[in-house]
């Protein structure tokens, strides 16, 4: 079996009321492993032995949202030999099921990172540290995320370009969004903003339940128009599209690697292969990668370029282990300095918090018995055409964008929703409910609206671990380090509370649970003081960390890569993933990461097309 689920014996606190921590939880996870623990890629893989010293034209580190795109595009040239390294295993079948997305967190295909405390966030979590899930499998985080396909706002990319990053304005990146996209929903195909011939399937789920429709109606009745967020206007509400097809997830592994893996002999894929060091010669030229697989060190060599696409956490970590980073930090760890750059700085994320609860009436809730949950899991497995509750993702794609000030150039708040299996259990032990959220997203009796600050001012830093530089890095997102980050969220909550009076919610008996959560019981529910306490206590990531290998012009002292994603001061080395974002975009980061892969590899192809005769 490829997939190993969350260990309930470690994750469940003693005496928790959470039913997922019961014997049923163990039975449920055992069923998931039995039905979905294998991998289609593993069943098809036919390995060939490689020579001890083998050269490639390109080495791509990280088979995530960007890396899979890069490897696909490079191997379109049959003369180029490409090695794709992925630290995790093959993508397990369980990732394909939209309704099981929450069961992936904390499993063996999650790096299971945690933040470092800053005294202003995550206060209700053990040690003041929040979990930071990141994908560790083929497809990376595109294989474990919630699948929403959102690109951000025109203003985001125009701001990148205005800061001196030529080639990254909205009009310049739009063709690269469209290049990958294969949108199958007919209502958006006549738009100039969408593509229909790319590899990445985009669609709405075949199953959208009543509470999800209620949420879209409530936001619409509250004043937000129905909108295609990826079109001309972002402010609005709608059921967001997902990277899915016919009720199944389409990760970048499924979209870009599976179709070519056994057809292009110039593509070589190594899984369970963790990169440890970039090889750089005395002329500051990157020429290979040292990686570990099955406990043994291996070396691969690149004739043309090494491309790092390991994500906003592992890309800066690998650069620093290789001597590229802040010289003081590297010298303190005994790492020879190759290039002094601000690697690991500019770390930021869309901050939000958990704990606001909208309870659903019995007629609107989608809860079923434990036996019916197991039946639904088995039924989905047996379907040739995937339909039913597990072919959707509950209320997660009920997305809305809001301006908290009409004078803003673009939205500063995004609303997304978690589902709560049992809200009475949740308000007793909210941390356990978050950590052991393993049950299908389709079945719930409450929803948890989360207002995300899309334009955070706080900036943090990623550092190598002093005691074990090769181990998990130290993550300091510095949530609410700038207290102004709370203001948009407080304004958004006032708008949110007003929706209780909409016809959509009143007619279905939905209402806010006005019982303070344990950490904030000293405050009156609904006051600013209560919500500030909630933000600081039940802080949550939206899984959008970016910025640690910042793109910027040469005069920018915080820049790590230039506008073509070349690492300053090191030849033949690029970083192509979300770590290059100067500022996070207004929306989820999966679709932008795919675009970054397309935009970045286009620079690579154009360079070698003009500099070599072996392109054609």
Query: Is 39 strand, coil or helix?
Result: coil
Looking up tokens 């040292």 gives 290
Q: 195 Cβ partners below 8 Å, 6+ apart?
A: 177, 178, 179, 180, 181, 182, 183
Which residues neighbour 329 within 8 Å (Cβ) at sequence distance 6 or greater?
320, 344, 463, 464
Q: Please calculate the CA angle 436-26-5 and round it to the nearest 5 degrees.
A: 60
Q: Which two tokens stand for residue 129?
A: 């540290």
Q: Hunting for tokens 């990169």 — which residue is that?
A: 275
298 belongs to the catalytic site: no
Pick left, alpha or beta for residue 140 (phi over 0 → left; psi -120 to 50 → alpha; otherwise beta).
Answer: left
Residue 567 corresponds to which tokens in the numbers above? Answer: 């690492």
Classify residue 55 as exposed, middle or buried by CB count within 10 Å of its CB (0-12, 13-18, 19+).
Answer: middle
* Residue of 194, 298, 348, 544 marked catalytic: 544
Helix (H, G, I), strand (E, B) or coil at 65: coil
CA distance 131 to 106: 9
| CA separation, residue 601 to residues 66, 72, 214, 612 (Å) | 9, 10, 42, 16
Exposed / middle / buried, residue 293 (Cβ in 10 Å: 0-12, 13-18, 19+): middle
* SS3 letters across 110-133: ECCEEECCCCCCCCCCHHHCCEEC
In whole angstroms, what is the distance from residue 462 CA to residue 545 CA?
11
- Do residues 411 and 393 lie in contact, with contact meaning Cβ atoms separated by under 8 Å? no
> Whole-angstrom Cα distance, residue 333 to residue 600?
32
What does the block give as tokens for 292?
């570990």
Half-sphere exposure (CA, 13 Å, Cβ side) for 461?
12
| DSSP state letter for 408 | S
8 Å CB contact between 118 and 101: no
Give the residue from 450, 446, 422 showing the smallest Cα distance to 360.
446
What CA–CA distance (Å, rounded) separates 429 from 17? 7
Give, as one character, the DSSP assignment of residue 254.
I
The CB density around residue 97, as the number of other CB atoms within 10 Å, is 25
The answer to whether the beta carbons of residues 307 and 278 sit under 8 Å apart is no
Three-class SS of residue 257?
helix
Q: What ranges make up the beta strands (E) of 329-455? A: 339-340, 345-347, 351-353, 358-359, 398-402, 413-420, 446-453
**CA-CA distance, 164 to 562, in Å (whole number)?**
9
What DSSP designation does 347 have? E
Assign 35 to helix, strand or coil: helix
**Alpha carbon separation from 119 to 122, 124, 520 (Å, rounded):** 8, 11, 16
Q: Catalytic residue positions?
A: 544
């Amino acid at each position: 079996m490829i997939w190993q689920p969350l260990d309930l014996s470690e994750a469940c606190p003693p005496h928790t009321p959470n039913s997922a921590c019961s014997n049923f939880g163990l039975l449920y996870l055992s069923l998931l492993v039995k039905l979905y623990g294998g991998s289609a890629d593993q069943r098809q893989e036919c390995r060939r032995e490689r020579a001890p010293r083998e050269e490639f034209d390109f080495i791509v580190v990280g088979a995530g949202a960007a890396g899979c795109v890069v490897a696909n595009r490079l191997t379109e040239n049959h003369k180029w030999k490409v090695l794709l390294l992925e630290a995790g295993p093959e993508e397990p079948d369980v990732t394909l099921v939209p309704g099981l997305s929450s069961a992936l967190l904390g499993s063996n295909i999650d790096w299971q990172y945690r933040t470092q405390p800053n005294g202003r966030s995550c206060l209700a979590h053990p040690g003041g540290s929040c979990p930071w899930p990141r994908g560790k499998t083929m497809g990376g985080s595109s294989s474990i995320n919630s699948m929403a396909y959102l690109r951000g706002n025109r203003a985001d990319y125009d701001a990148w370009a205005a800061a001196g990053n030529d080639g990254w304005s909205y009009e310049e990146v739009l063709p690269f969004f469209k290049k990958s996209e294969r949108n199958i929903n007919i209502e958006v195909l006549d738009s100039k903003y969408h593509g229909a011939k790319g590899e990445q399937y985009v669609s709405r789920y075949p199953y959208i339940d009543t509470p999800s429709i209620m949420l879209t109606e409530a936001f619409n009745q509250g004043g937000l128009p129905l909108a295609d967020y990826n079109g001309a206007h972002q402010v609005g509400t709608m059921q967001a599209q997902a990277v899915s097809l016919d009720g199944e997830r389409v990760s970048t592994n499924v979209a870009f690697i599976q179709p070519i893996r056994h057809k292009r002999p110039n593509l070589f894929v190594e899984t369970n292969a963790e990169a440890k060091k970039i090889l750089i010669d005395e002329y500051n030229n990157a020429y290979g990668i040292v990686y570990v697989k099955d406990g043994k060190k291996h070396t691969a060599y690149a004739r043309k370029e090494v491309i790092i696409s390991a994500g906003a956490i592992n890309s800066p970590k690998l650069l620093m282990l290789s001597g590229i980073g802040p010289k003081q930090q590297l010298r303190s760890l005994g790492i020879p300095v190759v290039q002094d750059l601000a690697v690991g700085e500019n770390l930021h994320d869309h901050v939000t918090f958990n704990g606001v609860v909208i309870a659903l009436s019995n007629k609107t809730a989608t809860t079923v018995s434990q036996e019916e949950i197991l039946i639904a899991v088995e039924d989905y497995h047996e379907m040739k055409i995937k339909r039913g509750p597990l072919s959707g993702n509950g209320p997660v794609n009920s997305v809305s964008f809001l301006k908290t000030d009409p004078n803003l150039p673009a939205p500063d708040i995004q609303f997304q929703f978690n589902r709560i299996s049992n809200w009475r259990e949740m308000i007793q032990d909210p941390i356990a409910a978050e950590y052991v959220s393993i049950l299908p997203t389709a079945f719930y009796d409450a929803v948890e609206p989360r207002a995300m600050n899309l334009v955070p001012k706080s900036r943090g830093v990623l550092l190598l671990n002093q005691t074990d530089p090769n181990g998990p890095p130290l993550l300091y997102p510095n949530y609410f380090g700038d207290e102004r980050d709370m203001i948009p969220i407080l304004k958004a909550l006032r708008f949110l509370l007003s929706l209780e009076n909409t016809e959509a919610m009143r007619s279905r008996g939905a209402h806010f649970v006005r019982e303070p959560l344990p950490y904030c019981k000293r405050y009156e529910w609904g006051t600013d003081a209560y919500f500030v306490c909630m933000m600081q206590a039940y802080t949550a990531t939206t899984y959008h960390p970016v910025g640690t290998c910042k793109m910027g012009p040469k005069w920018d002292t915080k820049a790590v890569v230039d506008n073509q994603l070349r690492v300053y001061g090191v030849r033949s080395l690029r970083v192509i993933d979300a770590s290059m974002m100067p500022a996070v975009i207004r929306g989820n980061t999966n679709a932008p990461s795919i675009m970054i892969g397309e935009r970045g590899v286009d620079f690579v192809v154009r360079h070698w097309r003009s500099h070599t005769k072996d392109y054609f």
